[in-house]
């Protein structure tokens, strides 16, 4: 099991912004899955929108990998990020299979405004002048919100519908948790050496991810455009 350094900047940020962090990782959309009360139309909406997001997430993750190859002092950073990038091919295939199962025509999905905003944010993080510490913070935050969120749906007392267990296990599993803890260690190590300006940028990026995740969950649950 990958241990996480408890003295890192990430833990301080989570405590500092706990209300927002909890809003992103324990959103009513996720809790409705956990409690077995979800309207399946909400899940189908999430499925179509997240497929679009993941396709945009691939080049972003690749850009983080490129920055790691040029800026990281630890070769293991590349290995961790590459493992995440490699898994995205399987993830896209999974979305296509689930869409077919739930009768969600992916080619007809209209991108919601919240998704457009999130994808534009990913594009902004791919600018070459952005520091590695900032973009890897974003990568960690995006992955961790999903891991912590879907792990709630696998708790012993959860009433997650059987039809949604596979989705919850994809992101809520201990294996994905290990990956997220490895990313957190990378972020903490980067931030230990970061300038004050980088720390501010990284924290702002962390908060923006949380805000965008909440907007994405809201859209999935309510269908708001």
213 is an active site residue: yes
Q: How far apart, in whole angstroms, are the C-alpha atoms of residue 137 and residue 185?
A: 10
User: Exactly one of 198, 213, 215, 222 is catalytic; which is it?
Assistant: 213
Binding site for substrate: what residues are annotated?
50, 91, 143
Q: How far apart, in whole angstroms, are the C-alpha atoms of residue 33 and residue 172?
A: 13
Handedness of CA 8, 14, 17, 21 (dihedral sign): positive
Tokens 């931030």 — which residue? 191
Binding site: what residues are annotated?
50, 91, 143
Tokens 């908060």 — which residue? 207
DSSP letter assigned to residue 110: P
Q: How far apart, in whole angstroms, are the C-alpha atoms of residue 94 and residue 59?
A: 18
Within the chain, where are the H helices?
9-16, 18-25, 28-34, 40-71, 76-101, 113-124, 132-152, 165-172, 174-192, 196-222
Q: For residue 108, give the 3-state DSSP assignment.
A: helix
What residues act catalytically?
Answer: 213
């Amino acid at each position: 099991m990958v241990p996480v350094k408890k003295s890192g900047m990430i833990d301080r940020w989570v405590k500092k912004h706990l209300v927002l962090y909890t809003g992103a990782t324990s959103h009513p959309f996720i809790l409705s899955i956990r409690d077995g009360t979800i309207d399946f139309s909400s899940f189908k909406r999430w499925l179509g929108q997240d497929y679009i997001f993941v396709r945009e997430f691939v080049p972003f993750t690749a850009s983080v990998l490129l920055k790691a190859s040029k800026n990281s002092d630890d070769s293991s950073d590349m290995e961790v990020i590459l493992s995440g990038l490699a898994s995205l091919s399987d993830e896209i295939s999974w979305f296509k299979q689930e869409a077919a199962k739930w009768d969600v025509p992916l080619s007809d999905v209209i991108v919601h405004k919240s998704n457009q905003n999130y994808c534009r944010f990913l594009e902004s993080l791919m600018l070459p002048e952005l520091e590695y510490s900032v973009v890897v913070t974003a990568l960690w935050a995006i992955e961790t919100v999903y891991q912590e969120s879907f792990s709630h749906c696998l708790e012993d007392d959860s009433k997650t519908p059987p039809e949604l267990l596979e989705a919850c296990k994809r992101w809520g599993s201990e294996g994905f948790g290990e990956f997220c803890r490895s990313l957190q260690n990378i972020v903490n190590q980067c931030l230990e050496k970061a300038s004050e300006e980088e720390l501010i940028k990284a924290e702002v990026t962390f908060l923006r991810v949380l805000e965008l995740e909440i907007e994405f969950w809201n859209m999935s649950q309510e269908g708001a455009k």
